[in-house]
Amino acid sequence: MIRKLNLDDFELSYTTEGEGRDVLFLHGFPSNMYFWNDIKNKLKNYCKVTVVEQRGYPLSSVENSIVSDFNIENLSLDIEKLINTLELNNNLTIVGHDWGSIVAWSIASRNNVEITKLVSICGGTEFPSTSIYDNLKFNKGSHYISSFQNPEEVNLLLIKNLDLFFRSAYRVTPNIDYTSLDLSLKSLFTTHNSGSKVHNINIDSLVKHFQNGMKQPISWYSNIDFNLELSNQWRRELDIDTTFLFGENDAAVKLNKKMIDRLKSSGTNVSVKEIKNADHWLPLTHGESVISEII
């Protein structure tokens, strides 16, 4: 059963099932709380599992929102308030995927709630500044994160064919040639074809879930420069058990030595692991790898 936590300007949707030590799941983009269903259903026999639909996503949408409503401080505060309200203090593990991992890292860094373990999947700690992405040009345009700095314009493009958008986003990406990878908006999110496999996720359900558009989720990306300023207040070396999981065929995040070194320097007890034959949707294809890191 979906429950609601009343916050200042919206209601945060979540579910809590099972008993035992606490595990909290944070989805990324473009997902929702149902993204974790398979893993949740296996874990709830051993743990108390809480799953959130985060700020700006359809079940937790914000009325009359502005772009800055979706900065990292607000995103972190939402989850901190949920943790405190539900008293998720039994050896809490936070698991984040994609953007959810960025929120999880920020919560751990802010140190306002007690966390025992952080599992970050296909994400990391922080996005670099938009200037980095602005300097990247591809055959089909600018880097998608540069395009996402204008959420209203991108939303109008994507909502024309949400089925194409989700099929493009969730397509299987084996054996990527990173030297020629096109990370533009059009290449990643509007180029699915009938010959491309799609991961085991209900595309029709996603289309229905996001039928009112993607503007608020896209707005998360529009705050990444502001987020760097905000994170200056709490950025620190983590002292909790932290695991970063990546897929070797992830089109969005390529794990290399420089990134590994940076991630390992983010804490005193950090593991960085690459899962073979996995891509950006690792929780859908390698759920047992996620579960093994939790239990």
The pTM (predicted TM-score) of the whole model is 0.96
Domain locations along the chain: 3-127+226-294, 131-218
- What is the rounded CA–CA span in Å between residue 234 and residue 109? 6
pLDDT in tens, 142-173: 999 999 999 999 999 999 999 999 999 999 98
Show Cβ contacts of residue 66 under 8 Å, excluding neighbours closer than 6 positions: none
Q: Which of 292, 239, 291, 280 is nearest to 99 (CA)?
A: 280
pLDDT at 184: 94
Terminal C-alpha separation, the chain: 24
Amino acid at 110: R
Omega prior to 30 cis, within 30 of 0: yes
Phi, psi angles (nearest 5°) of residue 280: -65, -20
Task: Look at residue 108 and tell me whether its pLDDT is greater than 80.
Answer: yes
pLDDT at res. 59: 98
pLDDT of residue 272: 97
Residue 176 has pLDDT above 90, yes or no: no
Residue 245: count of CB within 10 angstroms of its CB: 25
Token pair listed for 272: 């960085």
Q: What is the CATH number of domain 3-127+226-294?
A: 3.40.50.1820
Kindly state the average pLDDT of the residues 174-179.
Answer: 78
Residue 177 has pLDDT above 90, yes or no: no
Average pLDDT over residues 67-80: 98
Region 202-228: what's the mean pLDDT? Answer: 97
Q: pLDDT grade, residue 179 (50/70/90)?
A: confident
What per-residue confidence (pLDDT) applies to 292? Answer: 95
Q: Mean pLDDT of all residues in the chain?
A: 95
pLDDT above 70: percentage of residues in the chain: 100
Token look-up 């970063």 returns 244
pLDDT, tens only, 180-208:
889 999 999 998 877 779 999 999 999 99
What pLDDT is recorded for position 154? 97
Assess whether pLDDT exceeds 90 at residue 225: yes
